[in-house]
Amino acid sequence: YRREPKMKSAPRKSCKNCGEDIEEVLKIYSQTWKKQEANYQNFSSKLSLECNGPEMAIITQTNTPLGSKIVYDGERFRTLQVDQGMFNNFAKENPFPKKKWHTCAVVGNGGILGNSNCGKMIDSAQFVIRCNLPPLTDEYKKDVGVKTNLVTANPTIFLRKYGALIGRRLPLMEKLRIYGNSLLLLPPFSFAMNTAVSLRVLYTVEDFGGPVQPVFINPDYLYNVSLFWRSQGLKAVRPSTGIIMASLALELCENVDLYGFWPFAVHPYSFHELTNHYYDSQKVGSFHAMPVEFKLLLQLHSQGVIRLNLGDCE
């Protein structure tokens, strides 16, 4: 049913200048991966109990009725009472099906995807999740694919690159075209500064007539996901978009593959220097201490719950 990712070569087990963190990762990663059904069931039911992503991740007219009070997840003192105008912006129906997808790919934006040749593997998943409106142009297609079923958007992109949508709106519509009719996940209720710009994105897409489907991420869900990961040892103030999407995928899909998750400055196979993103020349910030999120994901990988893909694809 499912092609196993074919790795060109096994990761080398030692790299003198990479630091102990990476050595430790490679030691764990070099074990053969196999899904461990009981561990997967256990983890995804814990997530369902505490976060209930399939019902709660997206604001709908059912889970957030008229008159209810929204609490911003990034500014918990800030609330908003849902009036008729706001209510009309919410999805009428939950976009997620009751039945789990068989295979999902969650694509982080790590530089490790550069020259990975993993585009086909990624696109072969039934449901593909991408983060922060990543470029999927011809130059990257081979490495990251194009299929997109859900894409998240960080409002700073709209503020910086699209003039907060106060001026021309066509450039944004042209950018969004590459994501087809995927769900565009907006966070209007994380911080006050997100609200107006997220609404402008929704209205822009509605006025131009799609094809992406803007939906609002539920701040209650985000808050519960952050509590969940805190209980797993993640002390960061806010979990990254990537780990939030991995959590959602673990509730929506039987088999979850992660690509582009590698917060280190050297490649695990070739040891060449990497940029933070596959599409830019920004340096990787964290070099020494193994980023905690990655450690948690690696732990899930070694327990057969989720599959981290670090190698190049055939």
| N-to-C CA span, the chain | 18
Q: What is the pattern of x (binds ligand CDP, CB under 6 A) and - over residues 21-60?
A: ----------------------------------------
Chain centroid to CA 87: how far? Answer: 26
Q: Shortest Cβ distance from residue 284 to ligand CDP (Å)?
A: 6
Residue with tokens 């732990």, as numbered in its chain: 299
Nearer to ligand CDP, 183 or 284 (CB): 284
Whole-angstrom Cα Rg for the chain: 19
Q: Catalytic: 288?
A: yes
Q: Which of 102, 277, 288, 301 is catalytic?
A: 288
CB-count burial class (<10 Å; 0-12, 13-18, 19+) for 88: exposed
For 8, 20, 29, 113, 236, the CA distances from 295, given in Å and listed in that order, are: 24, 13, 11, 19, 13
Nearer to ligand CDP, 86 or 105 (CB): 105
Chain centroid to CA 54: how far? Answer: 15
Q: Scanning residues 263 to 302, which ones bind ligand CDP (CB under 6 A)?
A: 263, 276-277, 284
Q: Please tell me what DSSP assigns to residue 258.
A: E
Q: Shortest Cβ distance from residue 179 to ligand CDP (Å)?
A: 15
Nearer to ligand CDP, 130 or 147 (CB): 130
Whether 189 contacts 70, CB under 8 Å: yes
Closest CA to 306 of 258, 259, 251: 258
The residues, any chain, with a CB within 8 Å of residue 105's CB and separated by 6 or more, are 121, 122, 125, 127, 128, 129, 256, 257, 258, 259
Q: Scanning residues 71 to 130, which ones bind ligand CDP (CB under 6 A)?
A: 108-111
Q: Shortest Cβ distance from residue 276 to ligand CDP (Å)?
A: 5
Q: Shortest Cβ distance from residue 140 to ligand CDP (Å)?
A: 14
Residue range at the interface with ligand CDP (CB under 6 A); choices 33-41, 52-60, 226-234, 235-243: 235-243
Residue in the shown chain whose Cβ atom is closest to ligand CDP:
242
Residue selected from 91, 131, 217, 298 as contacting ligand CDP according to rule CB under 6 A: 131
Q: Scanning residues 236 to 265, which ones bind ligand CDP (CB under 6 A)?
A: 240-243, 260-263
CB-count burial class (<10 Å; 0-12, 13-18, 19+) for 194: buried
Nearer to ligand CDP, 188 or 260 (CB): 260
Nearer to ligand CDP, 90 or 221 (CB): 221
Binding residues for ligand CDP, total number by CB under 6 A: 17
Closest CA to 179 of 145, 146, 137: 146
132 is a site residue for ligand CDP (CB under 6 A): yes
Whether 54 contacts 251, CB under 8 Å: yes
Q: Shortest Cβ distance from residue 58 to ligand CDP (Å)?
A: 19
Q: Shortest Cβ distance from residue 59 to ligand CDP (Å)?
A: 21
Q: Scanning residues 167 to 226, which ones bind ligand CDP (CB under 6 A)?
A: none
Q: Give the binding site for ligand CDP (CB under 6 A).
A: 108-111, 131-132, 240-243, 260-263, 276-277, 284
Catalytic amino acids? Answer: 288
